[in-house]
């Protein structure tokens, strides 16, 4: 398991684009990463929930995103998704079938 935390820098609001570093709270995201020495790696990311400083912003609070590592609503890292799309969901052996349910765990 890998534990990581984002840096304390200003992040722009996705609606207004106004940068803010005002923390409303924290959120922990658990995602799957690439295999290391045949073992599944799980990343736990500690991300901030930020408050938009713009008056009238309908979103008010938002979670910071981690570009290049994790996209919105993903349960796998970007590099794991890239590896699956290159190799295919069944891995390096095309004749080997993987049940759909095992791809979502």
Calpha distance 41→63 (Å, rounded): 23
Q: What is the pLDDT of residues 80-93, one digit of tens each?
A: 888 777 765 555 54
C-alpha triplet 25, 29, 35: angle, nearest 5°: 155
Retrieve residue 81's tokens.
């998704």
Q: Decide if pLDDT at 64 tops 80.
A: yes
Helix (H, G, I), strand (E, B) or coil at 80: helix
- Among residues 68, 57, 64, 73, the alpha carbon closest in space to that of 9 is found at 64
Phi, psi for 34 (deg, rounded to 5): -65, 160
Q: What is the pLDDT of residues 29-57, one digit of tens each?
A: 888 888 888 888 888 888 899 999 998 89
């Amino acid at each position: 398991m890998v534990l990581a935390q984002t840096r304390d820098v200003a992040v722009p609001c996705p609606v207004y684009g106004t940068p803010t570093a005002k923390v409303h709270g924290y959120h922990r995201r658990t995602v799957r990463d690439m295999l290391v020495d045949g073992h599944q790696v799980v990343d736990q990311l500690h991300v901030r929930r930020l408050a938009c400083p713009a008056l009238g912003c309908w979103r008010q609070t938002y979670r910071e995103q981690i570009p290049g590592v994790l996209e919105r609503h993903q349960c796998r890292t970007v590099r794991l998704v890239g590896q699956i799309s290159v190799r295919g969901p069944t891995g390096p052996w095309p004749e080997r079938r993987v049940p759909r349910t095992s791809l979502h765990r």
